[in-house]
Amino acid sequence: MDQKKQKAFREQLLAKKREILDAFNKNKNYGKEADLEGAQDIADKATSSYTKEFLFSLSNSERDLLQQVDEALSRIESGKFGICVACEDAIERKRLEAVPWARHCLTCQEKSEQGLL
């Protein structure tokens, strides 16, 4: 992959990383605000607890995605970006355009989802 394409993917990944971090910080601040509200009755406490649990679950998925983005950035730096981590074949460009943090080519991704990889 040429330098110009890698730079474009790097910019996409950095933008996604900023987006994830912004969303995480917003959720974290919302959780802190929910703690400060001082729920009065049991229903308010239950609602607040559910909201915080939901926000933390979002944080887990965001954390996973952030890790995938960081790994993709590392692959760019090491010169292995766009290469499947399983079979070491090239990942299709359309796949990378849709999911720039993709680790696997389509064949290996299907195997991974079936538990065969």
Residue extents of the structural domains in the chain: 1-79, 82-117
Q: Residue 34: count other Cβ atoms within 10 Å of its Cβ.
A: 16
pLDDT computed for residue 98 by the predictor: 95
Q: What is the mean pLDDT of the chain?
A: 85
pLDDT at 65: 92
Give mean pLDDT, residues 25-44.
63
Rounded-to-integer distance, Cα 110 and Cα 117, Å? 9
Which residues are paired to 83 by β-bridges? 90
Model confidence pLDDT, tens digit, residues 80-90: 999 999 999 99
Q: Output the pTM of the full model.
A: 0.73
